[in-house]
Structure 1
Amino acid sequence: MKHLKSIITLIILTFTLASCSTDDAPDVDTNLIVGEWSMTEFTYNTETTVTFGGQTINSQGDGEGSNFDYNVTFNEDNTLVANGSYDLTITGTVNGEAISAQNSTVSEVNTNGEWSINGDQLTASGITTADIDNEFFSGNAEESTSTITLLNSSTLRIESDFADAIPAGFEFPEGIDYNIDGTAIVTFTRVN
């Protein structure tokens, strides 16, 4: 069960910034994002189906962050730095049976990357909410895109869609069919 929790958490958290764009999205003021932001909310829900060897595993999961000490700085030169920690509680079901709430601490996040905005789409590399560092993440990170649902002088909220998301570089062994669907919402408040 711990291995399943780790896989699901890594998949979901790696794609916290992954969603589809919309063609008719309003532009957001790119200048508003520059500065340091502190995470104040992180929630997600997922539905995952894995089929292998004639067996199917269906899982549903909900995650909620707390005790946030996680900041992202968006620099004017379109680079970013993300670091900090927070607690995460995951609840859900596997094949319809409830699993015990799983509590963990995501700590020692220390990454950097680049960002851009097109319409209401925030594309970034180097942001992660997983417990990894630059040596693993920055050199291997692919860009991911999320929808900015709120951006003003004090609040940044992004929503990510996990539809059929598979982590970059992750390959399932032959014969395994995998689908994920879900949404994550991350809210930040401006530090400076």
Structure 2
Amino acid sequence: MTRKLFFKTVILSVFISVLVGCDKNDVTTPKENSSDIVGEWLMEALTYTGTSTLSVLGEEYITDFVGKSIDSDLVVDYRENNDIYTEGSYNIELSSTFLGVTTTQSTGGLIKDGLAGTWEIKGDSLITTTTLGETSSSYIEILTENTLKLVATDQRTETIEGYKTAIYTKYVIEYTKK
């Protein structure tokens, strides 16, 4: 597997993880009113850290990665009827360390206009379901009238070009109300 293909695979896996699967993370239960989420939120920052472990012929190759959003104009609209819509996109700057070598690259146009679905808050969890039926759960670390901070983790194993790859990612997403 070429290095470029490997990095594209990691970026794609991270993107899918943000949208689809997230597990519980230890955060404080917000004491704010959950109705504060209704409205348009501008994504100020998305950061994620993680590891990808590729298994080839009994050997494991570990890649550590850190990603952060750049050039974001992504707006998430949480409506009173529990519908959710997005507008805009963002780019990611991804730094990966593989076999002691760190590389940084950018990728663009993630989460394009028109992602739609539904949302609900259960306790300290924000649960979203896309129109394609993909559900994700994020933990609300902060929810005030003007600030939303979500934390999520994802752990999955995928087969990429015939090789088993275990990916663990922790995400922190920060929004301000428009």
TM range (shorter): 0.7 to 0.9
Superposition pairs of residues 84-163 of structure 1, within 5 angstroms: 84-99=88-103, 101-107=104-110, 108-126=112-130, 138-139=131-132, 141-162=133-154
Distance 1:151 1:47 in 2: 29
Question: CA 1:147 to 1:98, structure 2 compared with 1: closer, same or farther past 3 Å?
Answer: same
1:55-84 Cα offsets, whole Å, 9 max, x none, are: 322101100112211010011111100121
**Gaps in structure 1 of 5+ consecutive residues:** 127-137
Cα drift, residue 181 of structure 1: 2.0
1:14 corresponds to:
16
AA in 2 matched with 1:41: A
Closer/same/farther in 2, CA of residues 6 and 77 from structure 1, 3 Å limit? same
User: What are structure 2's unaligned runs of at least 5 residues?
Assistant: none
The one-letter amino acid paired with 1:152 is T
CA contact (8 A) 1:27 1:118 kept: no
CA contact (8 A) 2:92 2:106 kept: yes
The answer as to whether partners of 2:30 and 2:143 remain within 8 angstroms in 1 is no
Indicate the residue corresponding to 1:131 in structure 2.
Answer: none
What's the secondary structure of 1:81's corresponding residue?
Answer: strand
Q: For 1:43 and 1:143, how far apart are their aligned partners in 2?
A: 20
- Asked whether the equivalents of residues 28 and 120 of structure 1 are also in contact (C-alpha less than 8 Å), the reply is no
Q: Residues 55 and 185 of structure 1: is their aligned pair in 2 closer, same or farther, counting only changes over 3 Å?
A: same
Q: CA deviation at 1:178?
A: 2.9
* Partner SS state of residue 68, structure 1: coil
Deviation digits for residues 19-43 of structure 1, max 9, x if unmatched? Answer: 3166x84565221101111100111
Q: Which residue of 2 aligns with 1:187?
A: 174
The 1:105/1:119 distance shift into structure 2, 3 A limit, reads same
Q: Under a length normalisation based on structure 2, what TM-score does the superposition of the two structures give?
A: 0.86
Quickly say closer, same or farther: Cα 1:114–1:5, change in 2 above 3 A. Answer: same
- Amino acid of the residue matched to residue 37 of structure 1? W
Q: TM-score, normalised by structure 1?
A: 0.80
- Residue 4 of structure 1 aligns with an amino acid whose one-letter code is F
Name the CA distance, whole Å, in 2 between partners of 1:2 and 1:104. 12
Distance 1:16 1:177, change over 3 A: same
Count of matched residue positions in the alignment of Structure 1 and Structure 2? 173
Separation in 2, partners of 1:7, 1:27: 39
